[in-house]
Amino acid sequence: MPLYEDEIRSVEGRSLCHSPWQLGLFVSRPVSWAHIRVMRAPIRFSTAPHDAKWYGTILQPLIYVNNVALAASVYPGWRTARVRWDPNEARLRRLLRDRPSSVIFYTWHTYILLIVCAFKGFPADLKPTGIGHDGFRSRAVQQTVTWFGCPVWAYRRTSPVRPKQQLADYLAGSRRIVGLFPDAGGPEGEMRPGIVEVARETNSLLVPMVVAARPMATVRAPQRLCLPLPFSSVRAYWDEPIAGDEATVNRCRTALERLEARAVSSRGTDQ
């Protein structure tokens, strides 16, 4: 599959474009390659036929600047965050390594930047691939996600092939690990049925996930995003996977609501 065609070219897995870290924008002291290995996470697009828009190239600089600004806001928190998983991380790693089919982590879009913090200690083969699209609003976040180590796969909005079918084709017959945000694009907190339909068609496991950080900030871009602040405590909550053939919209929504209630309860206990 092609990489981010207009901005990224790679040779032997190493990107030839400059990261914000290489440009010295975020830190006042040198950072080792181990810290900027995130450059190796690619952005890939669906191979479905589509109509390329003439303004795509014009938007490239704006997309890059937006990603740099967003990444600059996230980096101090990502670099210094202390991450804790509930249930424990080892149990989740076993589930992912032994997965019989694809795994779909799903959560609300507001947690997308906390997700990259939560998975920062995971090996590359167990990090979820974020699912986005080739429109401006999604691409304005995609490079930020890859700079922090999680790859991205984007469907084509102008393709005659429906987005959920593009995703189903991407997952079919594989053991991929992906992350989906069923309320992306708004309204916030609304569980769309597409995620359940894809899980059924591909026999994927659905793993609900919620992430909380203390302290954290929230911004609107235009949807609400949670940003970890420096030296924050990040706690990632997940629950037992839901088999694709048993999934329903109500069951998936209830699982997220249960995790959010657990996060609120834990916050009170920690205090």
Chain segment 249-269, per-residue pLDDT in tens: 999 999 999 999 999 988 755
Residue 3 lies in a domain: no
Check residue 185 and give its pLDDT. Answer: 78
pLDDT category of residue 219 using cuts at 50, 70 and 90: confident
> Is 204 in contact with 104 (CB distance < 8 Å)?
yes
- The number of beta carbons lying within 10 Å of the beta carbon of residue 105 is 25
Cis peptide before 2 (omega within 30 of 0): no
162, 231, 235 from 74: Cα distances, Å = 33, 12, 16
Check residue 186 and give its pLDDT. Answer: 76
Q: Strand pairing of 224-238 and 205-220?
A: antiparallel
pLDDT in tens, 166-204: 999 999 989 999 999 999 877 888 999 999 999 999 999
Residue 1 lies in a domain: no
Phi-psi region of 219 (alpha: psi -120 to 50; beta: other; left: phi over 0): beta
7, 37, 57, 66, 127 from 61: Cα distances, Å = 10, 23, 8, 9, 28
Distance in angstroms (rounded) separating the CA atoms of residues 59 and 161: 24
228 phi and psi angles, rounded to 5 deg: -75, 135
Tokens of 184: 């992306």
129, 197, 252 from 194: Cα distances, Å = 18, 5, 12
Distance in angstroms (rounded) separating the CA atoms of residues 270 and 71: 29
Check residue 124 and give its pLDDT. Answer: 94
Q: What mean pLDDT comes out for the span 112-116?
A: 95
Check residue 160 and give its pLDDT. Answer: 97
Residue 147 lies in a domain: yes
Q: Strand pairing of 103-106 and 82-86?
A: unpaired
pLDDT in tens, 23-69: 444 443 444 444 444 445 789 999 999 998 888 889 999 999 999 99
Check residue 95 and give its pLDDT. Answer: 97
Q: Is the pLDDT of residue 18 over 60?
A: no
Report the predicted TM-score, pTM, of the whole model to 2 decimal places: 0.84
Residue 2 lies in a domain: no
- Domain total of the chain: 1
Residue 4 lies in a domain: no
pLDDT in tens, 86-101: 999 999 999 999 999 9
Q: What mean pLDDT comes out for the span 107-129?
A: 96
Residue 5 lies in a domain: no
Q: What is the CATH number of the domain that holds 197?
A: 3.40.1130
pLDDT, mean over the chain: 85
Lowest mean per-residue pLDDT among 17-31, 100-114, 132-146: 17-31
Distance in angstroms (rounded) separating the CA atoms of residues 212 and 165: 32
Sorted by sequence, the CB contacts under 8 Å of residue 13 that are 6+ apart come out as: 40
Q: 55-59 long-range CB contacts below 8 Å, 24 or more apart?
A: 56/6, 57/6, 59/136, 59/139
Domain of 252?
10-270
Q: Strand pairing of 205-220 and 10-11?
A: unpaired
Of 12 and 42, the structure prediction assigns the larger pLDDT to: 42
Torsion of CA 170, 173, 179, 184, to 10 degrees: 50
Q: Is the pLDDT of residue 224 over 60?
A: yes
Q: What mean pLDDT comes out for the span 125-137?
A: 95
